[in-house]
Amino acid sequence: MKKKLVFIIIDGMADVKIKALGGKTPLEFAETSGMDLLARHGLSSKIYTVNKGFMPESDVANLCLLGYDLKNHEGRASFEARGMGVRLKKNQVAFRANFVKLNEKQEIENVRGYRLPTTLNKRLCKKLSMRIQGVKIQVIPGESYRALVILTGKHLSANVTNTHPFYKKVRGTRYSMAMPSKKHCRINLCEALSPDAVLTAYVINQFTEKSNKILKELNNPVVNAIVLRDASKQDKIPVLFSKKYGLRMLTITERFLEKGLSKFLGIKTLDSLKTKARTLESDCKRKLRFFFKNYNKYDGFYIFLKGPDEPSHDKNPSLKARMIEIIDENLVLPLIEKLSKKGLLKNTIICVTTDHTTSSVIGAHTDAPVPVVVFDGKHDDNVKAFNETACKKGKLPVKFGKELMPYLVKIMNEK
Ligand SMILES: [Zn+2]
């Protein structure tokens, strides 16, 4: 019988060593008996989720971790739109947007709008719908400071640069790379990267100017501007995940990006999982519930958890360590215990990893490789704990994110 797969990705969990944590990383500092148990009885490694020298965002990293090449990247805004249930039409281009706070010199003071409440986000989005040069612009609220801007009209192109100054669009691709966050950064002008994108760039610059005037006049203490990035159109999907890997997979997350990415790859998502849970603890518990409820219906489960990434951006490694503990205590450990109690552990492969390193020292993603563990009840190595240091010595034969899914599928089929 084919084994089942639980593939758990925890957002931005890897980190660097922190003085205030006694020279340990938050993952080393945290009490993680569940993940350590997997490491003790499984195979571990450190992997580059995308590539050496690449500072991944969640979109590129999760695409690679699901076993796809970057050339399949459709664009972050498209993924998020799909996650929100929005199918873009041929004459539409979407942008991922952030509400931000600028200081008096028009420099970015807080790039996440001090994590404004979603209710305020919804109110702001309503005020920013407009029409410029015959192009209709809609602003759709996301969680907290996030939104989606959709342009509808003739002759639009996704081949434009970001106004978000911290992300640079990689030429000839659909994705952006984070720039080292500098102080005194202003909003960038949107530039056309090809002649057919001139109108789109013009409309975006007009929209930015008008929106920022409207937002400024509201005098809100946490946000007064909007920045855009990752313009994208929706394409044909690549080879479906089920075809590529012969797996019926279910994605368990409420996050628009990973949900949309799953839809793009033809992976089933849980439509009932829509909103952010009240606490990380209750989020872990509901995801575990959904997993067991669907255990018999699918071959694999892709569980994505947000949590540790945010405190690292806010340079709060102690909170990050605590969040990792909550995930271990309420998801990983009970998962192992329940599978074992039901006699299902021997038929289940558990893989835990993270999409990227987020340094709590600089408050940004880095290119450092991340720890990964694969437990299948058969193979093990000498690694005794799950963290950035211990997993280095592991024997898991995987070095890059893209190799992980083919490896997991191979061992699922092993007798
Ligand atoms: Zn992040």
Q: Residue 81's Cα: distance from chain center in Å?
A: 14
Is residue 128 a contact partner of residue 214, using CB atoms and an 8 Å limit?
Answer: yes
CA–centroid distance, residue 106 to ligand 1 (Å): 24
pLDDT tens-digit series, residues 173-219? 889 988 776 778 999 999 999 999 999 999 999 999 999 999 999 99
Looking at every residue in the chain, the average pLDDT score rounds to: 95
Contact between 111 and 163 under an 8 Å Cβ cutoff? The reply is no
CA distances from residue 204 to 65, 98, 150, 211, 220 in whole angstroms, order as listed: 33, 14, 11, 10, 23
pTM given for the model: 0.93
Q: How far is the CA of 38 from the centre of ligand 1 (A)?
A: 25
The rounded Å distance from CA 2 to ligand 1 centre is 35
Kindly indicate the confidence band of residue 354, based on its pLDDT and cuts at 50, 70 and 90: very high
The Å distance, Cα 179 to ligand 1 centre, comes to: 13
Domains of the chain: 4-74+238-412 (3.40.720.10), 81-232 (no CATH)
| Structure confidence at residue 360 (pLDDT) | 97
Element at 374 (helix H, strand E): strand 370-375
Q: Are 94 and 149 in contact (CB under 8 A)?
A: yes
**Number of neighbouring beta carbons within 10 Å of residue 183:** 7
Residues 6 or more apart whose CB falls under 8 angstroms from that of 414 comprise 3, 376, 378
Residue 366 CA to ligand 1 centre (angstroms) = 10
Q: Which residues contact 415 (CB under 8 A, 6 or more apart)?
A: none
Burial level of 95, CB count in 10 A (0-12/13-18/19+)?
buried
CA of 356 to the centre of ligand 1 (A): 8
DSSP 3-state of 139: strand
Helix, strand or coil, per DSSP, at residue 278: coil
pLDDT on residue 263? 95
Side chain identity at residue 345, one-letter code? L
Q: The tokens of 383 are what?
A: 């690694």
3-class DSSP state for residue 208? Answer: helix
DSSP string, 325-351: HHHIIIIIHHHHHHHHHTT-GGGEEEE
Residue showing tokens 């404004």: 116
pLDDT, tens digit, for every residue of 249-288? 999 999 999 999 999 999 999 988 888 888 999 999 999 9
Q: Which of 48, 74, 46, 78 is nearest to 61 (CA)?
A: 48
Tell me, in angstroms, the distance from the centre of ligand 1 to residue 56's CA.
Answer: 9
Task: Please give the distance, rounded to the nearest whole angstrom, from the Cα atom of residue 164 to the centre of ligand 1.
Answer: 15
Helix axes 118-127, 198-217, angle to 10 degrees: 120
* Residue 270 CA to ligand 1 centre (angstroms): 24
| DSSP-based three-state secondary structure for 136 | strand
Long-range contacts of 271-278 (CB under 8 A, 24+ apart): 276/118, 276/143
pLDDT in tens, 54-104: 999 999 999 999 999 998 899 999 999 999 999 999 999 999 999 999 999
